[in-house]
Amino acid sequence: MSTRFGTTRGKALAVTAAAAIIAAALCGPATAAEDGGGDHGRGADHWGVITRNTIGSPVADLRNGPFGSFGVTGPSASPPYGRGSLGIEVADASTSLTPPSEKVDFGNEVDFFGGPVQGLRRVGFHVFQTGENVAYGGPENMPNIRFEIDPNLTALPADNYSTLVWVPDAAPVTNRWSGFLDATSTGYWFLTGNEVPACNQAARCSLEEVQDALDDGGAGATVLTAAVGKGRDHMWIGAVDGLRINQNVYDFEVDGVRVLRAR
């Protein structure tokens, strides 16, 4: 059968499908305010457990919920985006190593590679913290955001690796979802090496202070990977959603990671 313009039905359907694909590409990713679809393309397919940064047998799994806890209603009773989140479970004394605790990073080793550390402007996430986690390790027993980086310091040309870590403040609520925790204005940052003695784990810095310390006039520090992680310290069982890195919000869902455009 032919259409009125002499094009076969199969060709017409193909043209319609192609037009829809082009239109979708031009529209770009959904905003974070929208809850339909998101972008499963570039930046969405490369997330998973970073195996070389995993110790013991922890869990970092895309899951539905958590919804609750029981009796909790309203916006804090469900993940801030979609229906899913990144569930994290680590134990504190389950290995024969020193320390005996577990560690896990769930991240992306592809899409952030080579980006400038100076370009990190907006970072943070939402967390599902429990009262039990507070009992295990105190109010600041929380997951972290971690960027593996090449410091590129002129004074240390052979030092090509450090991890830039954000440690959140205590969650403002327990047994329900928090609001957005802004890593540029709360908690503290440190570098795992001694590249910047003023910003090691014992000398806490803001993100801006770390960036200033790394800006020594050379090539500039670059990002290797980005991740949400936990350990090696206290047992923690909870969830994270809505990881924000600059203009993108990473929505963790059972079927994968959606990339949403932040408001």
> Which pLDDT tens digit goes with each residue over 4-31?
333 344 444 443 444 443 333 333 334 5
Q: Is the same domain home to 205 and 255? A: yes
pLDDT per residue as tens digits for the range 127-182 = 999 999 999 999 999 999 999 999 999 999 999 999 999 999 999 999 999 999 99
User: Letter for the amino acid at 126?
Assistant: H
Q: Is the same domain home to 84 and 209? A: yes
Q: Is the same domain home to 6 and 109? A: no
User: Letter for the amino acid at 183?
Assistant: A
Q: Is the same domain home to 8 and 77? A: no
Structure tokens at 93: 């004394």
Q: Is the same domain home to 54 and 172? A: yes
Q: What is the pTM of this model?
A: 0.84
Q: Which residue has the higher pLDDT, 98 or 3?
A: 98
Q: What's the domain range around 201? A: 35-261
pLDDT(247) > 90:
yes
Q: How many domains does the chain have?
A: 2
Q: Percent of the chain having pLDDT more than 90?
A: 81
Residue 2 pLDDT class (50, 70, 90 cuts):
very low
Q: Is the same domain home to 249 and 159? A: yes
What DSSP state is assigned to residue 134? H
User: Quick one: pLDDT at residue 255?
Assistant: 96
Q: Average of pLDDT values for 207-225?
A: 96
Q: Is the same domain home to 9 and 110? A: no
User: Quick check: 223 and 112 in contact, CB under 8 A?
Assistant: yes
Q: Is the same domain home to 191 and 151? A: yes
Q: Is the same domain home to 96 and 222? A: yes
Q: Is the same domain home to 78 and 22? A: no
Q: In terms of C-beta density within 10 A (0-12 exposed, 13-18 middle, 19 or more buried), how is residue 72 classed?
A: middle
Q: Is the same domain home to 72 and 194? A: yes
CA–CA dist 104, 85 (Å, integer): 16
CA–CA dist 57, 104 (Å, integer): 9
3-state secondary structure 200-228: CCCCCECHHHHHHHHCCCCCCCEEEEEEE
